[in-house]
Amino acid sequence: MSKKIIIIGGGIAGISASLQLARNGMDCTLIEKKRFLGGRAYSNKNISTGDLIDNGQHAAAGAYSEYFKLLKMLETDSNYTGRELRVPFIDEQGRKTVLDTSILPGSAGMALGMLKLGGLSITSKLNFIRFLSNVRNNKIKPDGQSAYDLLIKNKQSGDILEKFWHPVILSACNAKPHNTDAGIFIEMLRRAFFGSKENARLMFSKVPLSKLLEKFEEKFNLRNGKLLYSSGVEQIIIENGKAVGVKLKTGEEIKADKVVAAVPPKSLSSLLPQLIIDNHFGYLSQFEYSPIVSIFFWTDREITDEIFVALLGRKLQWLFALNKIHKEPRSSEFPYLYSATISAANDLINIPDETIKAICIKDLSEIFDKIADAKILNIKIIKEKFATILINPRAARLRPNAETGIKNLFLAGDWTATGLPATMESAALSGTLAANAVLKSF
């Protein structure tokens, strides 16, 4: 008889673990407390415009192998479009420089792109190339320090820190360099810049994120998987030091041979008895979170020719022209859709939307001349207070493996020990690691 597995949480990690376990003949039940899948990567209908918009622009990289493996299983990977790593930066004075790494593959392309980039001193460029080469040749070790300390030690200060590393780390790790573990930073560099040209590509979904998961239920059911929506787990049942099932918020109990908890740390701590937390999961309360604020706005005309731009020295950090990324034609009433992102947005997360709107309009009008003639038709602010955990050196040491101190209880989630920033790739990889650990445990 096939073994019964319960997976808690229908985010990318839970979906990844569920699908792989079901494909390996396990009798799986995925329990999701909301009425939709996707967790922190989901879409919602904007009432004013009728558009399905994401809870924040999610970019991927060609190096996201586990994430794309998952989408391939769901037959939705073709919804992604790739762009060579060509990043336009606009500084405070509105000057544009373009980092174009597409000329050569891997780190050679990065080095050449950096040499041609405007606005940086030649010393900084040469120090950058030396740094990249030292990372590539394993001459630089993370040593439990922050990305900031690592960069400073390796002569990456001043203009290169402010104009390059700062925005790169903010967007990839949702944290400032001093709050980022050097280990995940180095791993990110390796994957993005030292592999093939494809790995370095920036990938954008041409459809809203929720559509990427639409086929999950059908594929899961075909493998006898059961999906329970709108069903919060109240507690993981632990008897004699073993996980034996879950109790739902409705009071119903479901027994299982193994339980995979694919929920963020703060949710997990509410699912376990206090004694178990004290003895095995004391680290859960030590994670901190980093917020992201996203501003979606609709205009009557185009404000930039670019698909995306990095904004330096501004509150807004990135701007994405969604009408150029999405494949669906737009309505004539709301023809242009943009999304601006602010990572590590601790200073904005608790301030009123009206203030954020004003900051956004000020930044945009100082950068893009075309905004003066454009009419902003609608603005939607989305604040994600718990967007990702902060992976500083201390948190990096706390990240747990899939196996836990409790028999038959396994963990998944972007925050677990994947060695990657807390991203969709980390979530998908954690699902694979948890599925492998479960299969190995029989």
Ligand X SMILES: Cc1cc2nc3c(=O)[nH]c(=O)nc-3n(C[C@H](O)[C@H](O)[C@H](O)COP(=O)(O)OP(=O)(O)OC[C@H]3O[C@@H](n4cnc5c(N)ncnc54)[C@H](O)[C@@H]3O)c2cc1C
| Contact residues: ligand X, CB under 6 A | 8-14, 31-34, 39-41, 55-56, 58-60, 232-233, 262-264, 267, 271, 292, 294, 384, 387-388, 413-414, 422-425, 427
Closest approach of ligand X to the CB of residue 296, in Å: 11
Return the closest-CA partner of residue 13 out of 424, 439, 342, 377: 424
**263 or 360: whose CB is closer to ligand X?**
263
Pairwise CA distance, residues 77 & 68, whole Å: 6
150-157 long-range CB contacts below 8 Å, 24 or more apart? 150/182, 150/185, 150/186, 151/177, 154/127, 154/130, 155/127, 155/130, 155/131, 156/127, 156/128, 156/131
Q: Where are the beta strands (DSSP E) in 101-152?
A: none
Closest approach of ligand X to the CB of residue 33, in Å: 4
Closest approach of ligand X to the CB of residue 251, in Å: 14
**160 or 349: whose CB is closer to ligand X?**
349
**183 or 413: whose CB is closer to ligand X?**
413
Closest approach of ligand X to the CB of residue 387, in Å: 4
Buried b (16+ CB within 10 A) or exposed e, 8-32: bbbbbbbbbbbbbbbbbebbbbbbb
Closest approach of ligand X to the CB of residue 138, in Å: 26
Q: In this structure, are residues 237 and 244 in contact, taking their beta carbons and an 8 Å threshold?
A: yes
Distances (CA, A) of 141 to 146, 147, 150, 160, 362: 11, 11, 9, 20, 42
Closest approach of ligand X to the CB of residue 108, in Å: 26
**111 or 309: whose CB is closer to ligand X?**
309
CA angle 386, 253, 261 (to 5 degrees): 35
**28 or 271: whose CB is closer to ligand X?**
271
**10 or 109: whose CB is closer to ligand X?**
10
